């Protein structure tokens, strides 16, 4: 069996993309029509039941009215036609049936001694007078009886009233009956009409839902089209949102555009990072190769100087790779291992370490008195990097101050120097990877990763780094970390500093001083 070609696979993918919006559109229409059908069915059923109940109540009321009419005629005992007393029960029944005009689907019947004798003149769907079962049911009742009877024409609702006359031993029964199914025909026709109108309504609803679903799904199609138009080299596509009313789909389009902006910025930063990293790593290689090409093996002095240069460049490359790996690890949850720390003791210890970085006027400023939860190794690493940065841009004897204090819910740890300061144009970018000072600014030969590492450490703690500086007036770098209080010292030991297996990662150890993480080009 041959494998499908890429052309066939592409055609199938395109077909699926074309059908996907229509499938969603069809599902929307299906749900809309289902809801419309359920609503129409419920409305039709309720209307039909209300009409049927009203018809039944009307028939019951009419039956009760006929009984009152029977009682009125028979109670007087006088024949309305002659004015003389009734001669027999048969005369009473004939007069009662004659004087009561039967409505459509209504029937009056008279029985004497259990046998049929009289009926109203209006014909009904079936002749109840010929129905022996009905005659047996009502012909011999001795009390007023009402009920229903299943005839050949459907349900019959009836009321049978016994009739007697003094002096006549015969026993009569006057019956008024309604053919209920025929009486309810109007309700049935109304329900059928509603079903017909409902079917037309469903068709109109389907057409309207098709149009509305298309407009509703337009932003979704725009999202899909934009996503298909984005490639590895082109991230400029955005979903148009101008002029749209604010709704959930507009929020979706705005959110997707914002996400694309972040992705684009991230990809651009990654490309810049890769370009800069490649350039920085190629530079030592080029230097080493150039010196090796002109090396004179017969000249011991040339060999020693070249070996020293190669060793220095390899050390610089090793340090750069270590910093890049450190920044990569900053994205991992285990980058910091918080534990209870005495901030005053930590500040004093760090100050004692950084004093060996250079001959400066080192001063210990304010010291925060608190026990907080943070990673002492990473904080030491960040402060050492800031102190090394200060040493690089100050002269022997210049003032460098280190201190810490609590401010609201934050812990502030700062390094202040009396160096040349940072130009305002550079302050927003000194923390970027491979950052360099602007033209004319003081530069160094490092990779510019030190302050990026400081920012990564602060971010991993949930904090940030702030810079306050004016050219010629020095600079103050401040770590702003959340001040999370540590549990009481007599509580169970906190194992937050340990790794998942209970051990401490050696890679988290503070770099040996006086060789902290450098910040050559990333400062000012």
Distance CA 141, CA 158 (A): 13
* Residue in this structure with the two tokens 């109840």, named with its chain if needed: 128
Angle at which helices 218-229 and 248-293 cross, to 10° = 10
Distance CA 189, CA 200 (A): 17
What is the value of pTM for the model shown?
A: 0.46
Radius of gyration over alpha carbons of the chain, in Å? 50
Distance CA 166, CA 213 (A): 81
pLDDT in tens, the chain (524 residues): 444 444 455 545 554 555 445 677 788 888 888 888 899 899 999 999 999 898 888 888 888 887 777 777 777 677 776 777 777 888 888 777 777 767 778 888 888 888 888 887 655 555 777 788 888 888 888 888 888 888 877 888 888 888 888 778 888 888 888 888 888 888 888 989 988 888 898 888 888 888 888 877 777 777 777 777 777 667 777 777 766 666 777 787 788 888 888 888 777 767 766 766 676 677 678 778 887 888 888 888 888 888 888 887 787 777 777 767 776 666 666 778 899 999 999 999 999 989 888 899 999 999 999 999 999 988 998 998 899 889 988 999 999 999 999 998 999 999 999 988 888 777 777 777 666 555 434 444 445 677 888 888 898 899 999 999 888 888 999 999 999 998 876 554 444 433 333 333 333 333 334 343 333 334 44
| Count of alpha carbons within 13 angstroms of residue 232, beta-carbon side | 2
| Residue 330 contacts residue 456 (beta carbons within 8 Å) | yes
| Residue 391 contacts residue 523 (beta carbons within 8 Å) | no
DSSP state of 408: T
DSSP state of 505: -
Sheet holding 106-112, edge to edge: 115-119, 106-112, 168-179, 154-165, 145-151
Contacts of 471 (CB under 8 A, 6+ apart): 420, 421, 422, 423, 424
SS3 call for 227? helix
At residue 330, the pLDDT reads 63
Nearest Cα to Cα of residue 202 among 210, 213, 214: 210
**Helical spans, DSSP H, in 294-393:** 300-329, 343-354, 376-392
Q: What are phi and psi of 164, to 5 degrees?
A: -130, 160
Neighbours of 358 (CB within 10 A): 18
Distance CA 425, CA 418 (A): 19
Instruction: Give the C-alpha distances (Å, rounded to integers) separating 495 from 462, 489, 517.
Output: 19, 13, 27
Distance CA 138, CA 147 (A): 10
Distance CA 30, CA 18 (A): 19
Nearest Cα to Cα of residue 174 among 245, 91, 248: 91
Distance CA 381, CA 350 (A): 9
DSSP state of 357: G
Distance CA 46, CA 34 (A): 18
Across 273-288, b (16+ Cβ under 10 Å) vs e yields beebbeebbebbeeeb
H/E element holding 169? Answer: strand 168-179
Nearest Cα to Cα of residue 521 among 422, 384, 398: 422
At residue 489, the pLDDT reads 65
Nearest Cα to Cα of residue 521 among 399, 402, 419, 429: 429
Nearest Cα to Cα of residue 194 among 186, 206, 183: 186
């Amino acid at each position: 069996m041959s494998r499908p070609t890429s052309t066939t696979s592409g055609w199938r993918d395109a077909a699926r993309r074309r059908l996907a919006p229509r499938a969603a559109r069809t599902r929307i229409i299906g749900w809309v029509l289902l809801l419309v059908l359920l609503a129409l069915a419920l409305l039709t059923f309720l209307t039909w039941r209300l009409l049927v109940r009203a018809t039944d109540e009307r028939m019951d009321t009419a039956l009760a009215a006929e009984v009152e009419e029977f009682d009125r005629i028979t109670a007087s005992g006088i024949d309305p036609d002659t004015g003389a007393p009734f001669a027999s029960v048969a005369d009473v029944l004939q007069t009662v049936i004659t004087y009561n005009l039967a409505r459509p689907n209504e029937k009056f019947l008279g029985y004497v001694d259990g046998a049929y004798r009289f009926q109203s003149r209006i014909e009904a769907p079936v002749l109840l007078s010929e129905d022996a079962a009905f005659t047996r049911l009502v012909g011999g009742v001795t009390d007023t009886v009402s009920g229903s009877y299943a005839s050949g024409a459907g349900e019959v609702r009836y009321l049978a009233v016994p009739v007697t006359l003094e002096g006549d031993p015969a026993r009569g029964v006057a019956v008024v009956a309604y053919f209920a199914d025929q009486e309810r025909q109007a309700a049935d026709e109304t329900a059928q009409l509603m079903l017909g109108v409902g079917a037309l309504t469903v068709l109109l609803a389907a057409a309207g839902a098709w149009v509305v679903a298309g407009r509703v799904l337009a932003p979704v199609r725009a999202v899909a089209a934009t996503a298909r138009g984005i490639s590895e080299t082109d991230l400029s596509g955005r979903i148009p949102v101008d002029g749209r009313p604010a709704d959930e789909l507009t929020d979706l389009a705005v959110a997707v555009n914002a996400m694309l902006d972040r992705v684009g910025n991230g990809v651009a930063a990654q490309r810049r990072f890769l370009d800069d990293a490649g350039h920085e790593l190629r530079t030592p290689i080029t230097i080493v190769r150039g010196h090796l090409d002109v090396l004179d093996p017969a000249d011991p002095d040339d060999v020693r100087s070249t070996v020293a240069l190669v060793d220095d460049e390899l050390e610089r490359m090793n340090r750069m790779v270590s910093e890049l790996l450190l920044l990569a690890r900053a994205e991992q949850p285990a980058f910091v291992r918080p534990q209870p720390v005495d901030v005053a003791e930590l500040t004093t210890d760090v100050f004692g370490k950084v004093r060996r970085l250079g001959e400066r006027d080192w001063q210990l400023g304010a010291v925060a008195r608190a026990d907080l939860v943070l990673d002492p190794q990473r904080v030491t690493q960040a402060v050492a990097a800031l102190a090394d940065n200060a040493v690089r841009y100050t002269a022997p004897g210049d003032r460098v101050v280190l201190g810490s204090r609590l401010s609201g819910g934050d812990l502030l740890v700062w390094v202040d120097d009396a160096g040349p300061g940072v130009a305002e144009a550079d302050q927003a970018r000194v923390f970027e990877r491979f950052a360099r000072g602007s033209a004319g600014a003081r530069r160094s030969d490092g990779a510019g990763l030190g302050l990026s590492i400081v920012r990564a450490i602060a971010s991993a703690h949930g904090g940030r780094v702030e810079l306050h500086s004016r050219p010629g007036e020095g600079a103050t770098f401040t770590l702003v970390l959340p001040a999370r209080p540590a549990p009481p010292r007599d509580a169970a030991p906190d194992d937050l500093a340990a790794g998942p297996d209970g051990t401490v990662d050696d890679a988290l150890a503070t770099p040996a001083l006086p060789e902290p993480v450098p910040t050559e080009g990333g400062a000012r």
